[in-house]
Amino acid sequence: MGTITRTFANNITTSGVFKPTAFNNASFDNVTAVPSGAVTGGNMVLLSTQTASSSASISFTSGIDSTYKEYMFIFNNIHPASQSNFTFQVNASGQTGFNETMTTTAFRATHFESGVSASLDYKTNIDQAQGTSYQVMAEQINTGNDESCSGTLHLFNPSNTTYVKHFITNLSAYMDSTTAHNYFTAGYINTTSAITEIDFKMSTGNIDAGTIQMFGIL
């Protein structure tokens, strides 16, 4: 057995799998480029940013189309003008009023700042069963200078005209009772029409401050 063959054999297990010792930095010295398609991964493309300033709502009425199969919205320090819930609704193509039918589910993890209590509970008060209301993503955010909510909403394949439109949200909120809340909401918008617009607002009063970014996910 030659040296090269013996070295090669010593780096393979009896089941034909390369051992970790078969690879080192020198193994890849001659690689100058990765072939097209050999490695794939998603990219986030920033499409729009809006900043609230005593805003009744923040709407994205363009840019949601068939270009991307997933859209992500990032909420940064959404601060209400009065104690309120942070919510959203959508319009299907050609529709107005932000009142599409949804079926949703929601749960919440909670921990008080004082450490006296913590909980994990299903939120029957904010889920919907074929409802047309704005969907709550975080509750009872107060007006203290340090109080706000932040998080994400993912809207999947909004331009598809075969299936309903799924979404998930995850927000961290500083609630009025000096409590950390982590809200998880998911559901589907029960229409096969394309979703083209989305609106964010507080259930009471304005969005005093904060930014919302819309990304397309490749």
In CATH, 44-217 is 2.60.40: no
Kindly tell me if the per-residue pLDDT of 167 is higher than 60: yes
What is the mean predicted confidence (pLDDT) over 85-112?
Answer: 97
What's the pTM? 0.81
Instruction: Say what percent of the chain tops pLDDT 90.
Output: 78
Q: What does the alpha-carbon distance between residue 83 and residue 173 come to, in Å, rounded to a whole number?
A: 12
Where do we find the tokens 């589907």?
A: 188
What is the mean predicted confidence (pLDDT) over 20-40?
Answer: 57
Return the SS3 of 181. Answer: strand
Identify the burial level of 32 via C-beta atoms within 10 angstroms of its C-beta, where 0-12 means exposed, 13-18 middle and 19 or more buried: exposed
Identify the burial level of 139 via C-beta atoms within 10 angstroms of its C-beta, where 0-12 means exposed, 13-18 middle and 19 or more buried: buried
Q: What does the alpha-carbon distance between residue 92 and residue 47 come to, in Å, rounded to a whole number?
A: 20
What is the mean predicted confidence (pLDDT) over 82-87?
Answer: 97
Structural tokens at position 12 = 């393979």
Flag the least confident range among 40-49, 71-80, 118-127, 186-195. Answer: 40-49
Kindly tell me if the per-residue pLDDT of 53 is higher than 80: yes
Q: Phi and psi at residue 143, in whole multiples of 5°?
A: -100, 5
- Higher pLDDT: 129 or 33? It is 129
Q: What pLDDT score was predicted for residue 41?
A: 54
What is the mean predicted confidence (pLDDT) over 94-122?
Answer: 96
- Higher pLDDT: 13 or 168? It is 168
Structural tokens at position 87 = 């919510």
Return the SS3 of 99. Answer: coil
pLDDT class of 42 with cuts at 50, 70, 90 = low
What is the mean predicted confidence (pLDDT) over 173-179?
Answer: 88
Give the count of beta carbons closer than 10 Å to the beta carbon of residue 28. 9
Give the count of beta carbons closer than 10 Å to the beta carbon of residue 141. 25
Q: What does the alpha-carbon distance between residue 137 and residue 162 come to, in Å, rounded to a whole number?
A: 27
Q: What pLDDT score was predicted for residue 175?
A: 85
Residue 108 is given by DSSP the state E
Q: What pLDDT score was predicted for residue 26?
A: 57
